[in-house]
Structure 1
Amino acid sequence: MLFLYVLQAFLGLGAIAGGVMLIIDPSGSLMGMPADTVLKRSPFSDFLFPGIILLAVFGLFPLLVLYGMVKRPRWAWADALTPFKELHSTWTLSLYVGFGQIIWIMVETYIMNAVSLVHVFYMSLGLLIQIVTLLPSVQRFFLLPPGRGFHTADDQSMRAASR
């Protein structure tokens, strides 16, 4: 579990830093990415909106997911977004973070019409978040106690078998 926590924290903190830098300087010069060349194939003229998305979706959201994985609050909004009712909703949100990261990097490389080592790293980070989230030991960790999720007789027998 600790490794998944570290992955979510690394993504969140890094995206907060990147998002804030893009918001402070939407021209991209602070990060060495001139908007006029990097964003040629995008609908954006500067990095303000991408910076806001980076800050909120890949900065704050993974840290919220991390908080949820540690504290396990009951969030109705998160419960509504998960098809896996026998697992705590933050397990599903962790998968969503991984999917989102992969999609973000794919779109970014399309817009930039280039792939760099940083893209490969962050694409791999998204995939690694998904792989670790899908590990059976991680799934068992996020199983809800009886009565907190949707449980059938088969769910109960699977829970007993996994212990």
Structure 2
Amino acid sequence: MGCKTRNTPMMHAISLKPRRPFACTLLILLQLLLGAGALFGGGSLIIDPSGTLIQLPASLLEHTPLDSFLVPGIILFTVLGILPLMIAFGLVTKKKWQAADRLKLFRDRHWSWNLSLYTGFVLIGWITIQMYLVHGVALLHVTYIFWGMLVQAVTLLPEVQKVYRADNGLPIS
């Protein structure tokens, strides 16, 4: 008696294409959400530097050298808004970008992997400076410090590093 296999629809659905590890998907999602949130927050501060559009009290500026939220809005919009979205694009596509390649400390990793790691440091630094300048800590500060550490931790996971090795040639879709 031989073993018979049935040709079921499930057998045809199996893909031979390598799947992106969950950790890579999580990293992309973290960058997308960070970028989208910073575009909204930074854009709101650019549109209304007084902060009233997003209900930021002017008293937050008392201990800072700033008289409006315009400069923080521009930094937030560009550095923590546009850049993480570009990083997410690079993490998904692994496209080459020579300008970003010049910023790589880890030469054997894709530029998007390097910039993802940097984004974690920038986010932690940004929030730390905010806490210092406003002389206080809010739940949102703690949340974003954790977010920055999570970005760094996920970026440094071995399965993520393997996918973004500059020379591995692995597709990531």
- What TM-score do you get using the length of structure 1 for normalisation? 0.86
Q: Counterpart of 2:67 in 1: which secondary structure?
A: coil
Matches for 1:33-52 after TM superposition, within 5 Å: 33-35=56-58, 37-52=59-74
Distance 2:87 2:64 in 1: 29
1:17 matched residue in structure 2: 40
AA matched with 2:37: G
1:67 matched residue in structure 2: 89
Match of 1:82 among 100, 104, 121: 104
1:98 matched residue in structure 2: 120
Distance 2:103 2:167 in 1: 19
Matching of residue 32 in structure 1 with residue 64 in structure 2: no
- How many residue pairs were aligned? 146
Shift of 1:34: 2.0
Matching of residue 107 in structure 1 with residue 126 in structure 2: no
1:157 matched residue in structure 2: none
Shift of 1:145: 2.2
Shift of 1:116: 0.5
Point out where structure 1 has 5 or more consecutive residues left out of the alignment. Answer: 149-163
Q: Counterpart of 1:124 in 2: which secondary structure?
A: helix
AA matched with 1:105: I
Q: What percent of counterpart residues are identical?
A: 45
Structure with more helix by fraction: 1
Higher Cα radius of gyration: 2
Structure with higher RCO (Cα < 8 A, 6+ apart)? 2
Point out where structure 2 has 5 or more consecutive residues left out of the alignment. Answer: 1-23
Matching of residue 129 in structure 1 with residue 140 in structure 2: no
Distance 2:32 2:84 in 1: 7
The C-alpha deviation readout for 1:121-153, integer Å capped at 9, x for no partner, is 01110110000000000000101226x9xxxxx
AA matched with 2:50: S
